[in-house]
Structure 1
Amino acid sequence: MRVPLDPKLAEQSLFDALIAARDTYGDKEILEDQDRNPLTYTGVIRAAFVLGRKIAAMTNPSERVAIMLPSSVGGVVTFFALHAYGRQPVMLNFTAGELNLKAALKAAGVRKILTAKRFIDQAKLDDLVADLGTVAEIVWLDDVRKSIGLPDKLFGLMAGLMPRRFLVKTAPSSPGVVLFTSGSFGAPKGVVLSQWNLVANSRQVNQHIPLDPDWVMFNPLPTFHCFGLTGGVLLPLFQGLKAFQYPSPLHAKQIVELLPQVKASILFATDTFLNQYARVAGPDDFSTLKFIVAGAERVRDETHHLFNTRFHGLKLLEGYGATETSPVAAVNHPDRNRPGTVGQIMPGMSWRLDQVPGITEGGRLYLRGPNVMSGYLSATDPQVIEPLDGGWHDTGDIVSLDDEGYIAILGRVKRFAKIGGEMVSLMAVEGLASAVWPDNRHAVVSIPDSRKGEKLVLVTDRMDADVSRLTEWAREHGAPELAVPKKIMRVAEVPVLGTGKTDYVAIQQMAELEKAA
């Protein structure tokens, strides 16, 4: 059954939503990072106006300006600084490599990149910045902040008191951010999310799971990833929760030690990172958490088992989404958690399932709603946004949906192989490998085969993995022989993207190179 979005929630721009949150929840501490210098709502608003006025002096109205910063107070302030003056943030994935980043800058028509020397030095990105500086101007925020004088601070005091008088008005339907898809299965695409897309998604999540303003949201995910931006920043700020930003999801030990120190209530992360956190966490490290939300990739059975056995009573809620849906399309509920599903569709969303030839179970999921993107950036003109046909986003996922709106992900359309005339889900084959070797990471791709059309290749970090063990398990559990990979590539580490998602592009290239050798 389709649940409507609360009609009392009028469309808002991002900065209007921030101001409205201060009106609703009071001028409380709302933003903090590892430097432990928290900001109140007024502090965020004031800092955004002061920095935004400096950036506005070197940019044009509605100009797209890139941000290359980690999850931090500075990153959040910079995002809102652009919106205070009607500029459009373009979030850069600094782990994507020079070629992808240059393509992103060209696709979005970006002329300036905002970054910080401290971050670039710590992340050892000096060479990357030098390369990007050949196609766009690098603006060092450290230098911008040094230029802030007494008149700027006095202006900030006034803007903090009366932000609506100083705010450059923009429509809720105007661009809120340009993000680039992860590139898990191909070249990243530029996604334009409107301001209302982002605000609406935070409202949808809060309507589905009412959040307590006294809670603390801990966000280790990058803000160039929509899960980190909406879930880790905008959702808590708009719903009155303190948003604690941490610059890298890779620092497992530091993160689990910080969680109880900052009294974290909710942790957002991906399966890859949660698995690492669970392995290094002590019995009390997750003691303040109400629940954990996992998204961006499938949560493995092994990860569920780790949390169930080591942290009794802590709920791990799996969700589902895409950059194109701002990103949350479905998520489990603390009181209605169904492992094996990604939860229920968000309020205000419509869906349809289209049949796919050769695939008998489930259908191809299409989504429409207030959180679904404005469109993709045109490949030929940065100023052109290609809208969706009828507002429907083709997720490319094969799913089943029950009467209560719970979604089970069966695979991606691109993640099926046709072997001997039969469609085989590569996701299901990965599940088979995980059942045999649950403590390892596995990825399955297909390559052309002259006899059966396609052949499955298992890429695994299990060094003693062998086909006979997979065949034995399949026979014992009634799995079809077609689902057993006939080729195994053993690697020291299965490639992943900066977001923690499996890098299928790199894995496909590895498999094809191995075949050609």
Structure 2
Amino acid sequence: MGSFILGRRIAAASQGQPQVGVLLPNAAGTLVTLFGLYAYGRVPAMLNFSTGATNMAAACSAAQISTIVTSRRFIEMAEMEETLKIVSEGRRIIHLEDLRQSLTLGDKLYGLWARNFAKTALRLAGATRDARTPAAILFTSGSEGVPKGVVLSHRNLNANRYQAAARIAFTAQDIVFNALPMFHAFGLTGGSLLPVLAGVRTFFYPSPLHYKVVPELCYDTNATILFGTDTFLMGYARNAHPYDFFNLRMVVAGAERVKPETREIWMEKFGLRILEGYGATECSPVIAVNTPMHFKTGTVGRLLDQVQYRLEPVEGITEGGRLFVKGPNVMLGYLRADNPGVLEAPPDGWYDTGDIVSVDDREFVTILGRAKRFSKIAGEMVSLSSVESKVQAAFPDQQAAVVAVPDAKKGEQLVLFTTDAKLERKTLSDALKAAGATELMIPKTIIAVKELPVLGSGKTDYVSLNRMAREQVKP
């Protein structure tokens, strides 16, 4: 009922505009807004407010967004007044509070009628019947470059939730706790559409960064399923009482690699095994996932049903190959800020993940690194992810990230960012060599930071780290 009423008002304010920007936190009202836009044939473009005003403005240009739906209370709480001022230039802003205050008895009667005669209401409202038309525009996290608009169809989203549901067993007794933002594909499909459309009770919380509050709310809501990223799950584990997650039966992680120490603390403190999955925004997002029945340590799970794959060789890398995937969950295409409104479809439906992986005979996927996360030092390929893993294992109480910058002698050199202000290169070198690292894998420069920059998705912000490294390290 609320979706019909809200959608009708937004549609009236955005006539002739197929895309509508959505700048809202993770809340039930956001989901109502999405369904309202769907009812009236609009495509929600989920703006990633963690990327800042410049990237959001670029996203609006790429998707040709002229109207943005937001909330005054959200903007005030997030202290985004200046950001909204920049993003709103040349665009109309609709505040949900204004729409609520302007509702009339006629709106409410319409909503009541539409709820009882939903099929007729949807047909008259102009809801699409073509599953291959756009259903959402998400934007890549920008962890390694400028964010791109990813256009996902109704077929993409529904195929992926059914693919995931075929592996992860939900029941009517489950309660899902989702603090992941809906501007992220994991939060939208996995944490929102999958449980809600399956009839599973879902509790939304606006920020995954409240490490003390989330565990307490999981306890209060009797949550049985929790979605998160490695960064967030480690934060919860460090701040939670051992009984906060007493009712959890499943913890599903994605978006970034789950570190061994995160797995260990969840098992030791809560007796829970983290089920790691793998995906990409362009794949709606799930590509593979571990499950209680099909689990293999060190992998990100088995490929989902109907996901085809191929591995292409990469020069200098002997194990695995570059992963390409194809299936009903693969996006319609990209939208770019330098070519607004033009959809760039993946060639022949194949999406290049940019990841170097190996796949065994049971289709369990092991991530070896990203193609962009390899550095060529003195003619040898070095995995930055592998170096990070060894550093993290040697110094588990500290955060670490490794990037590569130009080097006059060897082509590139490694730079380590760490929260350990006292770490010296000799100590680092001895620890890495003891872990089996070669000389080329030892970072040449160490930069201490109070904390690593992260994106709203929980991923490490490598764009910022690369910029910081280039500013502080001479070739």
Greater mean alpha carbon deviation, residues 337-346 or residues 372-381:
372-381
Equivalences for 1:15-54 in 2 at 5 Å? 46-54=1-9
Does structure 2 retain, via aligned residues, the 8 Å contact 1:344–1:405?
Answer: yes
**Counterpart among 99, 113, 120 of residue 68 in structure 2:** 113
CA distance in 2, matches of 1:291, 1:202: 17
CA distance in 2, matches of 1:322, 1:408: 15
Does structure 2 retain, via aligned residues, the 8 Å contact 1:278–1:307?
Answer: yes
CA distance in 2, matches of 1:266, 1:358: 41
Question: What does residue 430 of structure 1 align with?
Answer: 388
1:318-351 per-position Cα deviation (integer Å, ceiling 9, x unaligned):
1110100001111100122223111011111100
Question: What does residue 41 of structure 1 align with?
Answer: none
Greater mean alpha carbon deviation, residues 464-473 or residues 324-333:
464-473
Does structure 2 retain, via aligned residues, the 8 Å contact 1:181–1:189?
Answer: yes
**Counterpart among 158, 164, 168 of residue 199 in structure 1:** 158
Question: What does residue 155 of structure 1 align with?
Answer: 110
**Counterpart among 53, 78, 84 of residue 123 in structure 1:** 78
Structure 2 unmatched runs, 5+:
none
Equivalences for 1:332-481 in 2 at 5 Å? 332-481=290-439
**Counterpart among 87, 99, 116 of residue 42 in structure 2:** 87
Q: Secondary structure of the residue that 2:245 maps to in structure 1?
A: coil
Shift of 1:139: 0.7
Question: What does residue 164 of structure 1 align with?
Answer: 119
Question: What does residue 262 of structure 2 align with?
Answer: 303
Q: Which amino acid aligns with 2:113?
A: M
CA distance in 2, matches of 1:378, 1:494: 28
CA distance in 2, matches of 1:61, 1:82: 13
Does structure 2 retain, via aligned residues, the 8 Å contact 1:102–1:135?
Answer: no
Shift of 1:180: 0.5
Shift of 1:135: 2.8
CA distance in 2, matches of 1:475, 1:315: 30
Shift of 1:62: 5.8
Q: Secondary structure of the residue that 2:317 maps to in structure 1?
A: coil
CA distance in 1, matches of 2:377, 2:340: 41
CA distance in 2, matches of 1:78, 1:430: 40
**Counterpart among 203, 209, 212 of residue 171 in structure 2:** 212
Q: Which amino acid aligns with 2:41?
A: G
1:362-406 per-position Cα deviation (integer Å, ceiling 9, x unaligned):
100001111100000144443321111110000000011111111
CA distance in 2, matches of 1:134, 1:57: 21
Q: Secondary structure of the residue that 1:208 maps to in structure 2?
A: coil
1:387-439 per-position Cα deviation (integer Å, ceiling 9, x unaligned):
11110000000011111111111110000011111100000000111011011
**Counterpart among 31, 39, 51 of residue 96 in structure 1:** 51
CA distance in 1, matches of 2:215, 2:432: 37
Q: Percent same amino acid among aligned pairs?
A: 49
1:225-279 per-position Cα deviation (integer Å, ceiling 9, x unaligned):
1111111110001212112110001111111001021121110111111001001
Q: Secondary structure of the residue that 1:110 maps to in structure 2?
A: coil
Question: What does residue 448 of structure 2 align with?
Answer: 490
Shift of 1:516: 4.2
Question: What does residue 38 of structure 1 align with?
Answer: none
Question: What does residue 240 of structure 1 align with?
Answer: 199
Does structure 2 retain, via aligned residues, the 8 Å contact 1:61–1:86?
Answer: no
- Cα distance 1:358–1:236, how it changes in 2: closer, same or farther (>3 A)? same
Question: What does residue 68 of structure 1 align with?
Answer: 23
Q: Secondary structure of the residue that 2:165 maps to in structure 1?
A: helix
Structure 1 unmatched runs, 5+:
1-45
Does structure 1 retain, via aligned residues, the 8 Å contact 2:209–2:232?
Answer: yes
CA distance in 1, matches of 2:341, 2:266: 46
Question: What does residue 100 of structure 2 align with?
Answer: 145
Q: Which amino acid aligns with 1:221?
A: L
Q: Which amino acid aligns with 2:37?
A: L
Q: Which amino acid aligns with 1:98?
A: A
CA distance in 2, matches of 1:131, 1:292: 38
Are 1:279 and 2:242 counterparts? no
CA distance in 1, matches of 2:412, 2:462: 17
Shift of 1:473: 2.5
Question: What does residue 213 of structure 2 align with?
Answer: 254
Equivalences for 1:218-229 in 2 at 5 Å? 218-229=177-188
CA distance in 2, matches of 1:318, 1:370: 22
Instruction: Compute the TM-score of the two structures, normalised by the length of structure 2.
Output: 0.97
Does structure 2 retain, via aligned residues, the 8 Å contact 1:179–1:226?
Answer: yes
Q: Which amino acid aligns with 1:103?
A: A
Shift of 1:475: 2.9
Q: Which amino acid aligns with 2:303?
A: I
CA distance in 1, matches of 2:70, 2:248: 32
Question: What does residue 473 of structure 2 align with?
Answer: 515
Instruction: Compute the TM-score of the two structures, normalised by the length of structure 1.
Output: 0.89
Q: Which amino acid aligns with 1:352?
A: R
CA distance in 1, matches of 2:347, 2:96: 40
CA distance in 1, matches of 2:68, 2:430: 54
CA distance in 2, matches of 1:155, 1:466: 68
CA distance in 2, matches of 1:379, 1:479: 41
